[in-house]
Chains A and B, each alone.
Chain A
Amino acid sequence: MADAPILEFNGITHEFDVSLPPLQRLLAGEQRRYLRAVNDVTFSITAGTTLSLVGESGCGKSTIARLCVGLHTPKRGEIRFEGMTLAEARKLGRVRRQMNMIFQDPYASLNPRWRVSDIIAEPIKRFALEKNASSVRRRVELLLSQVGLAPSDGDKFPHEFSGGQRQRVSIARALSSEPVFLVCDEPTSALDVSVQAQILNLMRDLQRRLGLTYLFISHNLAVVRHMSDRLGVMYLGRIVELGEAETIFRRPLHPYTRLLLDAIPDLDHIGRARTPVGGDVPSPIAPPPGCAFHPRCPLANDRCRVEAPALLDADGTQVACHAVAEGRA
């Protein structure tokens, strides 16, 4: 089990149809248009570890989360879970039990009309993990105390909890089917910092205790540094840098990773004066040709403008950058 990848993405591409409705398209004389949210993405996650994906809005990180749990089917490429393709594993019913998701907004992801104990008990009943009502209740109480809530909290409705407590309920629900793999899509972005610390600590405790594997999606590099074993940096649908988190934080190679790390306001930089990189993230509907980052990149040359770089080994990590490959960085 030690080094076996639990989840593998092999050359995954996913597109969304963003065309106008047929009649308007006809009148405007326009072709169908596709938004390539995820472009030829390959990575794997070892059991018991955390891989984080980080990037700005529109980079495709949430689409990857949804591809993992089967909310989207990829256009191209193959996703493998515990060695089986996702389709096979789903047929065996294993994915639904062993993989679960924690969402960003704990206000939208809990049914407001259900008591918390019912919310947490549903997966237990669905997979028939306990035989009778009293053992289901005991299981729910155990889960509640595992995430730091009182067993009596099960009788309450979601609106009676604060944001952080709701996220604890979401985690209890995600754990109730005894999963081995959790997809966490910005689990603390809606929370205040002191509550965020509680949830991040809880998630790491649970990982250690239950041997969980996390795919952790976030835009916050500081949070990612705290949580990750491995890290993938995404820009406009592609992974531009992938490797051990500590290595990347200590020595970022891709110009975009450096920009991101440099852009974060940090407590250690009181009153820092800086020269930020200009430009916005381009629209994913019409990404720039070649390397998608070239319009903002200080190292871009003619090759970068026409040829998209592949993810190549560079000094222990993988980087998709011509400048790094050519030694210009």
Chain B
Amino acid sequence: MTPLLDVRDLIVEFPTRHGVLRALDHISFSIAQGEILGVVGESGAGKSLTGAAIVGLLTPPGRIGGGSIHLDGERIDNLPAEPLRRIRGRRIGMIFQDPLTTLNPLLRIGRQLTETMRTHLDLTEVAARERAAEWLERVGIPDPRRRLDAWPHEFSGGQRQRVVIALALCAEPELVIADEPTTALDVSVQAQIITLLKTLTRESGVSVMLVTHDMGVIAETADRVAVMYAGRIAEIGPVAQVIRHPAHPYTDGLMGSIPTVEHRAERLRQIDGSMPRLDAIPSGCAFHQRCGFAFDRCSDEQPGLMEAGATRAACWLRAPEAAHG
């Protein structure tokens, strides 16, 4: 079966005065139909950029410098603006971090929903309005019919994010890209939104790319997770394996550095240093300078993703020939 989304060797670069900076370096992953893929990493790792590249919303001068993106077998990274615009919203829905900036403050909620649906689906105004009310109900807005005429500012932060989820799903897309959908929310509201997102996407069989810095959110929501570091995928695999048996030293360090509410550690494990800037990514493995296991090959040669038990990791420790030595 072809995966719904297939990204191969994607490169995104930014030409600057000091040369071309490579922000994404040979990113490869796929998302199956109905699957939730979490993408996690620290600021500047390139996780949001990956989402932006898929929907063709890179901010110039950023550009795709190589690789391919296929949606349901059809190549979409080289499409002209207009056909790409039709895919956005119709086949790929988007949810961003800040619901206030996603919603148009000058349009009533009902209008935003009906407009989105009528752009992409063949619906009359009356039918679209009816369906908009249904969507508000599905995302848990009380009194949906009356709320259709409300303005975005009349909703609380959590409710706004519910409306944004309705907007992203109302054109019945095949893929939803959710970029930090709960980061701006308080924990008790965050729990509601995660549950809602999970239920609705499972119901409709839509695939989700969930971009977040919060490993806890990924743990509860995603099927598989890709861990990004300095514009590359360090490790990708099923959530439980990546969390419990990380194969990449960076993933391992990351998991150890997250405090948990379940027990109190005397000391958190820490990875010294910080992620390199784009203009100073070291040769070989981008992590080798912070890595406790680095050997010669790590600074000379860039590792690709290698099988490592149930996950795949970009680490020379996982190279077949290293297993003996």
Interface residues, chain A, with chain B CB atoms under 8 Å away: 56-57, 162-165, 192-198, 200-201, 204, 219-223, 225-226, 246, 249, 259-272, 274-278, 280-281
**Which residues from A are CB-within-8-Å of B270?**
194, 197-198, 201
Q: On chain B, which size bracket covers the interface?
A: 35 or more
**Which residues from B are CB-within-8-Å of A259?**
188
Mask for B218-248, Cβ within 8 A of A = 1, else 0?
0111000000000000000001100100000
Q: Within the assembled complex, what's the spacing in Å between the Cα atoms of A162 and B43?
A: 11
B257 contacts partner chain A, Cβ-Cβ < 8 Å: yes
B257 touches A193 (CB 8 A): yes
**Which residues from B are CB-within-8-Å of A270?**
219-220, 239-240, 243
Q: Which of A165, A268, A275 neighbours the largest number of chain B CB atoms within 10 Å of its CB?
A: A268
B255 touches A267 (CB 8 A): yes
B271 touches A194 (CB 8 A): yes
Q: Which among B194, B219, B239, B258 is the interface contact of A193 at CB below 8 angstroms?
A: B258
Report the stretch among B48-56, B112-120, B128-136, B151-159 that lies at the interface. Answer: B151-159
20 A–B contacts from the bound complex (CB under 8 Å)? A56-B188, A57-B186, A194-B42, A194-B274, A197-B268, A197-B271, A198-B272, A201-B268, A222-B259, A222-B260, A226-B265, A249-B261, A263-B188, A265-B216, A266-B219, A271-B220, A274-B195, A276-B192, A277-B188, A281-B186
Shortest CB–CB separation between residue B64 and chain A, in angstroms?
26
B195 touches A276 (CB 8 A): yes
**Which residues from A are CB-within-8-Å of B253?**
194
Shortest CB–CB separation between residue A232 and chain B, in angstroms?
16
**Which residues from B are CB-within-8-Å of A267?**
215-216, 219, 243, 255, 258, 260
A-B contact count (CB 8 A): 139
**Which residues from B are CB-within-8-Å of A276?**
188, 191-192, 195
**Which residues from A are CB-within-8-Å of B258?**
193, 197, 222, 267
Q: Within the assembled complex, what's the spacing in Å between the Cα atoms of A262 and B192?
A: 11
State whether A192 and B259 are in contact (beta carbons under 8 Å apart), knowing that A162-B274, A198-B270, A264-B187 are contacts in the complex: no
Considering only CB atoms, which chain A residue lies closest to B159 in the complex? A280
Q: Within the assembled complex, what's the spacing in Å between the Cα atoms of A193 and B41?
A: 9
A271 touches B239 (CB 8 A): yes
Q: Which of B102-121 contact A (CB under 8 A)?
A: none
**Which residues from A are CB-within-8-Å of B186?**
56-57, 219, 281
Q: Within the assembled complex, what's the spacing in Å between the Cα atoms of A263 and B192?
A: 8
Q: Which among B42, B240, B264 is the interface contact of A226 at CB below 8 angstroms?
A: B264
Q: Within the assembled complex, what's the spacing in Å between the Cα atoms of A200 and B257?
A: 10
A268 touches B257 (CB 8 A): no
Q: Within the assembled complex, what's the spacing in Å between the Cα atoms of A21 and B164?
A: 34
B265 touches A274 (CB 8 A): no
Q: Within the assembled complex, what's the spacing in Å between the Cα atoms of A198 and B268?
A: 8
A265 touches B220 (CB 8 A): yes
Nearest first, the 5 A-B pairs at minimum CB distance are A265-B216, A197-B257, A192-B42, A56-B186, A263-B191
State whether A268 and B220 are in contact (beta carbons under 8 Å apart), knowing that A260-B188, A276-B195 are contacts in the complex: no
Q: Within the assembled complex, what's the spacing in Å between the Cα atoms of A57 and B157?
A: 11
Shortest CB–CB separation between residue B272 and chain A, in angstroms?
7
Known contacts A221-B261, A260-B187, A265-B220; 18 additional CB pairs below 8 A are: A56-B186, A164-B274, A192-B43, A193-B215, A194-B254, A195-B274, A197-B257, A197-B259, A198-B272, A201-B267, A220-B259, A249-B264, A263-B190, A265-B191, A268-B262, A275-B195, A276-B188, A277-B188
B213 contacts partner chain A, Cβ-Cβ < 8 Å: yes
Q: Which among A223, A260, A266 is the interface contact of B216 at CB below 8 angstroms?
A: A266
**Which residues from A are CB-within-8-Å of B267?**
201, 204
Q: Within the assembled complex, what's the spacing in Å between the Cα atoms of A158 and B123?
A: 56
B274 touches A263 (CB 8 A): no
B42 touches A280 (CB 8 A): no
Q: Which of B168-194 contact A (CB under 8 A)?
A: 186-192, 194
Q: Within the assembled complex, what's the spacing in Å between the Cα atoms of A249 and B214?
A: 21
B217 contacts partner chain A, Cβ-Cβ < 8 Å: yes
A246 touches B220 (CB 8 A): no
Shortest CB–CB separation between residue B147 and chain A, in angstroms?
15
Q: Within the assembled complex, what's the spacing in Å between the Cα atoms of A192 and B40?
A: 11
**Which residues from B are CB-within-8-Å of A194?**
42, 253-254, 257, 270-271, 274
Q: Which among A226, A269, A281 is the interface contact of B259 at CB below 8 angstroms?
A: A226
Q: Which of B195, B220, B267 neighbours the largest number of chain A CB atoms within 10 Å of its CB?
A: B220
**Which residues from A are CB-within-8-Å of B272?**
198
Q: Within the assembled complex, what's the spacing in Å between the Cα atoms of A192 and B260?
A: 15
Considering only CB atoms, which chain A residue lies closest to B188 in the complex? A263
**Which residues from A are CB-within-8-Å of B275?**
192
Q: Within the assembled complex, what's the spacing in Å between the Cα atoms of A269 and B198?
A: 15
State whether A269 and B220 are in contact (beta carbons under 8 Å apart), knowing that A194-B257, A219-B187, A222-B261 are contacts in the complex: yes
Q: Which of B188, B254, B255 neighbours the largest number of chain A CB atoms within 10 Å of its CB?
A: B188
**Which residues from A are CB-within-8-Å of B269?**
197
B268 touches A200 (CB 8 A): yes
Q: Which of B270-315 contact A (CB under 8 A)?
A: 270-272, 274-275
